[in-house]
Structure 1
Amino acid sequence: MKIQRSLEITLIAICAALYAALGIATYLGLFTPILSTVRFWPSVFVPAIFSIAFSPMIGGVGAAIGIFISDMVVHGNPLLSLTVGVPANFLGFYTIGYLYRKLRDEKKIIMLIFSELLLTTLILVALLYFNLLDYSFLFAAIIAIIATALPAILLKGEDRRIVVSGSTGLMLGSAYIGIGVWVFSQFFTLPSGQAYLPGWAALVWFLWTYLTEIPFIAILTPPVVKVLKSSGITFGEEK
């Protein structure tokens, strides 16, 4: 069933509000598991759910608005948010909902998830080999990879499709963030005070974003979507 415009706007507002609120709470130290110096970011499962359960546009726009609100509290740099955070979130979460509706071939789904995990692992090993990451991040990364691989292997059908769609969309969004932060640093100073980051920093930001967010999409999104569907609270088209 196609969503009415008024309902679509309402769902976007709810998605944005939940995403921003949970993101700000995470920044303040709530709802946030921490392994050594690595802080995870659980709020990403919110727009993933909206993108899958309702529509890619609702999840993408809700995430874009929500991250802008969150960014204004976290670092307060609107230019960085509008050029990196906002488009990356729209791209990533729109893609999640889009792929969820398009991915049907089980073999392709399995190949896609393992290709993504392999790529992530190879980049991680390369950065560690050149001493560009510390081992506390390695420990957190291993947990994140396992937390993604296990649902992708153990879950079946639609649940597996959710994990793979979430992983792929998040990977695209994370790549945008990695490249975007690097480009931004060549012209402006980042909120952290860094500027003129080296090229390999784009890979670090990509890994950081993907690995600290994917466990929450892989673990939390499938059961919530299942509850929504069993309750009849889904309005998006399944074409």
Structure 2
Amino acid sequence: MFLPGQALSFPVAQRIPRSLRFSVLVVCSVLYALGAYATGWIVSPWGRGQFRPAVAIPAAFALIDPLAASAGAALGTLIADSWKHGTLYLPSLLAAVPGNFIGFYVFGLLLKRRSTWSGFILASLVAMALGNFIVAFLYVPVIVLLGIIPPLPPEPLLLLATGLWVWFFATEYPFLLVFIPPVAKALAASLPSITYFKPGPLTLEEGKRLATIQFLAALLLAVASIAVLFTPAGQSLARGLSVRLGATASLNALAVTGALLFASAAILSASGTASYMLATRRRLS
């Protein structure tokens, strides 16, 4: 959760030394590869795609250098996936690499442009949605073209890509919200000379703005959870998944996805409540 009385504040961008950029690239790629590989055995309910809380690693390095962090994320995901499969894994190269690079680069750029807690929430939301969209909607056609899965009608393939997108986002976004704020404080305290941000006080106005963004994101995730579990949209998704998973497994996958969406909504709601309460207490004190 967010730290009491803290907010992100960014000074004017400064030139990053090449040695620092190279170090961020190397360390980020190694740590991300190890973190992704460690949870690579946890496959999504769709039978493909992974559970990857390690996305917090390149997001943290993006607070130092967005370009090096995004390159490290791209290299790290390729190393982890290729390590897991025992060879250069082309779906990772063609789908995960561009998605990771663009997602974390956008995350860092948005943070630099909007140096507030609400900017952090918006940057993480946009970056995770965009990066995972690229990964999911490149990955499905790539595995079809490579013959990893048999050719299917467009509708099941679209539903598979959508399901992967939802899974990636729902299982990754909360980790950024939980882990990046304390990491940001630690970096600013221990390595102030290499960070492009400094913590500042969370004002009442900023707390309200931050809480509003979090509650809106939570509402969207809650609506998505309800749609997946209780509407014809979820039934259509289950039909598409049954082509690959079978009827029973597709229903189980749908239930897990709906639960993850609801859990993410709950985390965001709690975080929004905490943000508002902390800002209010600071104002009263």
Q: TM-score scaled by structure 1?
A: 0.67
2:171 counterpart of 1:212: yes
Match for residue 35 of structure 2 among 22, 26, 31: 22
Amino acid at match of 2:131: G
Give the total of aligned pairs.
178
SS at match of 1:27: coil
The code of the aligned residue for 1:226 comes to K
Q: Distance in 1 between matches of 2:179 and 2:35?
A: 14
Q: Unpaired segments of 5 or more residues in structure 1? A: 105-157
Answer yes or no: is the 8 Å Cα contact 2:40–2:50 preserved in 1. no
Equivalence map 1:161-176=2 (5 Å) = 161-176=119-134
What SS does the aligned partner of 1:199 have?
A: helix
Could you say what secondary structure the match of 1:82 adopts? Answer: helix
Structure-2 change in CA distance of 1:202 and 1:184 (3 Å)? same
Mapping of 1:7-18 within 5 angstroms?
7-18=20-31
* CA-CA distance at 1:237 after TM superposition: 4.5
Match of 1:89 among 87, 97, 100: 100
Q: Is the 8 A contact 2:91 2:143 kept in 1?
A: no
Measured after TM superposition, the shift of residue 40 of structure 1 is: 3.6
* Paired letter, 2:106: T
Q: Which amino acid aligns with 2:80?
A: S
Deviation sequence 1:205-225 (CA, Å, 0-9, x none)? 111111111111111111111
Give CA deviations for 1:30-54 in whole Å, capped at 9, x if unaligned. xx9x99x997421000000111x21
Structure 1 residue 78 corresponds to structure 2 residue 89: yes
Report the aligned-residue RMSD.
2.6
Cα distance between partner residues in 2 of 1:95 and 1:72 = 25
Match of 1:103 among 105, 114, 124: 114
Matched ranges for 1:96-175 at <5 A: 96-103=107-114, 158-175=116-133
Q: CA, structure 1 residues 233+14, in 2 after alignment: closer, same or farther (shift >3 Å)?
A: farther
**1:63 maps to which residue?**
73
Alignment-mate amino acid for residue 126 of structure 2: T
List, as ranges, runs of 4+ consecutive aligned residues in structure 1 with deviation greater than 4 Å.
Answer: none
CA distance in 1: counterparts of 2:193 and 2:96, whole angstroms: 27
For residues 88-109 of structure 1, give each alpha carbon's deviation from its aligned partner in whole angstroms, at most 9, with x where no partner exists: 10001111000101125xxxxx
Q: Deviation of residue 18 (structure 1)?
A: 0.6
Alignment partners' CA distance in 2, 1:195 and 1:213:
29
Instruction: Supply the distance in 2 between the matched residues of 1:12 and 1:101 (Cα, whole angstroms).
Output: 19
Alpha-carbon spacing, 1:194–1:207, altered in 2? closer, same or farther (3 Å)? farther
Aligned residues with identical type, % of pairs = 28
* Inter-CA distance 98–194: structure 2 relative to 1 (3 Å threshold): farther
Which secondary structure does the structure 2 equivalent of 1:11 belong to? helix
Q: Deviations over 1:161-220 (max 9, x none)?
A: 323211211111111012102221331233xx4654522222111111111111111111
Describe the shift of the 1:212–1:77 C-alpha distance in structure 2 as closer, same or farther (beyond 3 A).
farther
**2:190 is matched by which residue type in structure 1?**
S
Q: Contact 1:23–1:70 (CA<8 Å) still a contact in 2?
A: yes
Q: Report the counterpart of residue 177 of structure 1 in structure 2.
A: 135
